[in-house]
Chains A and B, each alone.
Chain A
Amino acid sequence: MPALSSSLPGEAIAAYPPWIPGWVWLIGPYLLVLIGVLVLPLANVAAISVFTHDPRAFWSARLTGANYARLLDPYYVQVLVRTLRIGLITTVACAALGFPVAYWLARCSRRVVTIGLFLIVMPMMVSTVIRSFGWMVLLGRTGVINVASEALGLGRWLTIMNTEAAVVIALVQICLPLLVLPTMAAIEKVPVSLEEAASNLGAGAITVFRRVLIPLAAPGLASGALLVFVVAISVVVTPALMGGRSNRMLGNEIYDQVITAMNWPFASAMAIVLIAVVLALLGLSLAAGRALARRSVRGA
């Protein structure tokens, strides 16, 4: 099949029914899935968000802006801000903890990588509920740490359960693999010779890290950070079990409105706002990334 060996994949496939462009064969099936399971349901959610709540049938088709207006209540603004703050802190913490791990894994022997990856990925096979219960056993007032501390005569000093910090700790543990894996893949592509060349030219370890490693691994780091952020702001179980009463996140509010209050229009409005905020933040970060890239090109 000479066409296959001498053409780009899309062009090669296009040879079969020539009237259908190659790209349709390549991304068409996924586009169909995307439309079926994402775009249409999302459009459904968007439409429900402007309907009026009816306790007997979820909603009636009277259009209203009340569901969005209700979100301007300081309580919901506070929940949204808290959600974004927890997401951001979790992302930064995962980056700080995960980058060194990713670097080490990218530079060590194959055997160690296998063991390291197993250790990184294994916790993902345990449900978040079980992991949250695990943290409760560890961090609770009568948890392992406090009991051990009391046995040593230091008293029960750990009071972190039911705080925002407890939520962040649990989320970092849950999300860390999402940052390590793409970052590690990006660092693996950075030739060790570049680091050695920078060192030979007099750059210290921090300079090599800041001027060579970080810029070249940035795409992987950014992908990982994005995954962590999106997962962290959409959790339900972890804040419910670790955060106590006053650290609710938007996911908890949406869950309660869907399952307990049966107010789907308001829950839909919250979901749409959360998606819009995330998209806006992504747009901003992309713009900032481009600006930084332009500045570094000019600097070079």
Chain B
Amino acid sequence: MTGKISRRTALKGAAASAWVAAGRDGVSPLRAQTAGAARPFTWAATGGTWGDTLKTIFVDPFFAAQSGPRPLQAAQLESVAAAKILANCGSSPYDVSDGPQSDYAMLNGASCIEAYDPSIITSLPDIFDEAKEGDYYAAFNILLFGMTWNTKEASKPTSFNDLGLAKYKGKVGIPAYGWYGMTWLHALNKQLGGSEDDITPGLSAVAELVKKNGAIIVENADHGTRLMDSGEIVIMPYWNGRTVRLQEANIPAAFELVPGTVLVGSGYSIMKGTPYPKLAQAFVQSTLDAERQLAFSQWSKYPPANKKIKLPPALENIAIPAGGLEKTAKLDWKKINEYRSPYLERWNKEVLNA
């Protein structure tokens, strides 16, 4: 023993440190977080006006009546929050998180979220079945990803197949896989006879659409709004609420709930390991309250998930038509989540390179 550290020993030490840092089975000490009870009640949601309105309608009134911890918003994309929750499974930096059921089905599969307590969350029976997932997710708003079209330059669509009409060549939009393309692909695939295990019919149809009609990839909701506003796109799979916003901006747009329309909820799930489990349950219950959901719908233009709510005349245009929910795609999120990576690769190769 000379007491000196050789280069080889140093490299071995660095490699061992990296191994420990990377952790076993996706649990890294480097990303460990102290789930101390002294922290504020952290609610994750997308930012911007969506986050601001959640705060005004749900968060502030709820915490005004509480004497415990104060709320703190963690604003980021829902998919980013989901990645962080998965990376910190069991010691999430958030107590509750808002997002679509697809992400929470994945997080539930990884045992990262807490089940709802029906003794506290008593409004669950009031929520549309399509807006719930297992015993861990219930939406407060229903977002429908159907067909939006320019009423001056396109005609009312009857199915997603209308995207392939020759008259729309070069003026068709499809969602990016990383936005809601993955979900829409599965919905379309099912309409074409495919299943979560066999994505080929859907992928072939989208590739054909891109090849023949020069479909433009829509990266996010704002991108879609801009493309509709500028007239670069006259028809695309898009949101019901966003279409109402387009109409309010005097853009000639309309929404159609075509067969296979994707129903995406916006709702809160409770993170496993939260130091405030009861408070989190009570908060989720407050998001299912009819009055608050209606208030949020008045701003968002998405219909509420509470089926007891009767929409006022001013909001009749956002109501889900009779039988509408039956037309939405029935998707197995657990299977979809298992295929996220291989189907992304196929999408990139077969659709984007078409």
Which residue numbers of A lie inside 8 Å of B, CB to CB?
40-41, 43-44, 46-48, 51, 53-61, 75, 133, 136, 140-143, 162, 240-241, 244-246, 248, 253, 255-263, 266
Q: Which residues of B contact A259 (CB under 8 A)?
A: 77, 79-80, 83, 178
Q: Which residues of B contact A260 (CB under 8 A)?
A: 79, 177-178, 182, 340, 344
CB distance from A272 to the nearest CB of B (A): 12
28 contacts between A and B (CB under 8 A): A40-B18, A40-B21, A40-B30, A43-B17, A43-B18, A44-B18, A47-B19, A56-B106, A57-B26, A58-B86, A59-B25, A59-B26, A60-B25, A75-B348, A133-B226, A136-B226, A140-B230, A140-B232, A142-B231, A240-B219, A244-B217, A253-B348, A256-B177, A256-B348, A257-B341, A259-B80, A260-B344, A262-B106
Q: How many angstroms between the C-alpha atoms of A44 and B135 in the bound complex?
A: 35
Q: How many angstroms between the C-alpha atoms of A102 and B29 in the bound complex?
A: 48
B352 contacts A by Cβ under 8 Å = yes
Among A41, A48, A253, max chain B CB count under 10 A is at A48
Q: Which residues of A contact B30 (CB under 8 A)?
A: 40-41, 44
When the two chains form the complex, which single residue of B28, B80, B226, B353 contacts A44, counting CB atoms closer than 8 Å?
B28
Q: How many angstroms between the C-alpha atoms of A231 and B216 in the bound complex?
A: 26
When the two chains form the complex, which single residue of B25, B110, B341, B353 contacts A246, counting CB atoms closer than 8 Å?
B353
Q: Mark B74-94, 1 if CB is under 8 A from A, else 0.
A: 000101101100110100000
B165 contacts A by Cβ under 8 Å = no
B178 touches A255 (CB 8 A): yes
Q: Which residues of A contact B86 (CB under 8 A)?
A: 57-58, 262
Q: Which residues of A contact B341 (CB under 8 A)?
A: 53, 55, 257, 261-263, 266
B18 touches A55 (CB 8 A): no
Measured CB to CB, the nearest residue on chain A to B342 is A261
B52 contacts A by Cβ under 8 Å = no
CB distance from A19 to the nearest CB of B (A): 17
B349 contacts A by Cβ under 8 Å = yes
B125 contacts A by Cβ under 8 Å = no
Q: How many angstroms between the C-alpha atoms of A131 and B117 in the bound complex?
A: 47
When the two chains form the complex, which single residue of A142, A248, A266 contacts B232, counting CB atoms closer than 8 Å?
A142
Q: Which residues of A contact B83 (CB under 8 A)?
A: 258-259, 262
B109 touches A56 (CB 8 A): yes
Q: How many residues of B contact A (CB 8 A)?
A: 50
Measured CB to CB, the nearest residue on chain A to B223 is A241
Q: Which residues of B contact A244 (CB under 8 A)?
A: 216-217
CB distance from B157 to the nearest CB of A (A): 22
Q: How many angstroms between the C-alpha atoms of A58 and B26 in the bound complex?
A: 6
Measured CB to CB, the nearest residue on chain A to B351 is A245
Q: How many angstroms between the C-alpha atoms of A55 and B341 in the bound complex?
A: 8
B176 touches A44 (CB 8 A): no
Instruction: Evaluate whether A245 and B77 lie within 8 angstroms (CB atoms) in the complex, with A47-B22, A60-B26 already known.
Output: no
Which residue numbers of B lie inside 8 Å of A, CB to CB?
14-15, 17-19, 21-28, 30, 77, 79-80, 82-83, 86-87, 89, 106, 109-110, 176-178, 182, 210, 215-217, 219, 223, 226, 230-232, 337-338, 340-341, 344-345, 348-349, 351-353
CB distance from B184 to the nearest CB of A (A): 13
Q: How many angstroms between the C-alpha atoms of A253 and B347 in the bound complex?
A: 12
B344 touches A261 (CB 8 A): yes
When the two chains form the complex, which single residue of B22, B230, B353 contacts A51, counting CB atoms closer than 8 Å?
B22
B348 touches A257 (CB 8 A): no
CB distance from A227 to the nearest CB of B (A): 27
Other A-B contacts than A58-B87, A162-B216, A241-B223, 6 sampled, CB-CB below 8 A, are A53-B341, A60-B25, A61-B23, A241-B219, A259-B80, A262-B341
When the two chains form the complex, which single residue of B217, B231, B340, B351 contacts A55, counting CB atoms closer than 8 Å?
B340
Q: Which residues of B contact A46 (CB under 8 A)?
A: 18
B176 touches A240 (CB 8 A): yes
Measured CB to CB, the nearest residue on chain B to A241 is B219
Among A57, A61, A248, A259, max chain B CB count under 10 A is at A57
Q: Which residues of A contact B231 (CB under 8 A)?
A: 142
- Counting from the closest, the 3 A-B pairs by CB-CB distance are A43-B18, A47-B22, A57-B26
Q: Which residues of B contact A55 (CB under 8 A)?
A: 106, 109, 337-338, 340-341
CB distance from B139 to the nearest CB of A (A): 21
Q: Which residues of A contact B219 (CB under 8 A)?
A: 240-241
Instruction: Evaluate whether A48 and B177 lie within 8 angstroms (CB atoms) in the complex, with A256-B344, A263-B340 already known.
Output: no
Q: Which residues of A contact B24 (CB under 8 A)?
A: 61
Q: How many angstroms between the C-alpha atoms of A54 and B28 in the bound complex?
A: 15
Q: Which residues of A contact B353 (CB under 8 A)?
A: 75, 246
A262 touches B340 (CB 8 A): yes
Q: How many angstroms between the C-alpha atoms of A142 and B83 in the bound complex?
A: 37
Measured CB to CB, the nearest residue on chain B to A40 is B21
Q: How many angstroms between the C-alpha atoms of A5 and B182 in the bound complex?
A: 67
B14 touches A43 (CB 8 A): yes
Q: Which residues of B contact A140 (CB under 8 A)?
A: 230, 232
Q: How many angstroms between the C-alpha atoms of A215 and B27 in the bound complex?
A: 52
CB distance from B337 to the nearest CB of A (A): 6
Q: Which residues of A contact B178 (CB under 8 A)?
A: 255-256, 259-260
Q: Which residues of B contact A253 (CB under 8 A)?
A: 348
Measured CB to CB, the nearest residue on chain B to A247 is B352
Q: How many angstroms between the C-alpha atoms of A246 and B353 in the bound complex?
A: 6
Q: How many angstroms between the C-alpha atoms of A201 and B42 in the bound complex?
A: 72
CB distance from A285 to the nearest CB of B (A): 27
Q: Which residues of A contact B23 (CB under 8 A)?
A: 61
Q: How many angstroms between the C-alpha atoms of A60 and B106 in the bound complex?
A: 16
Measured CB to CB, the nearest residue on chain B to A51 is B22
Q: Which residues of B contact A54 (CB under 8 A)?
A: 25-26
Measured CB to CB, the nearest residue on chain A to B345 is A75
Q: How many angstroms between the C-alpha atoms of A152 and B223 in the bound complex?
A: 29
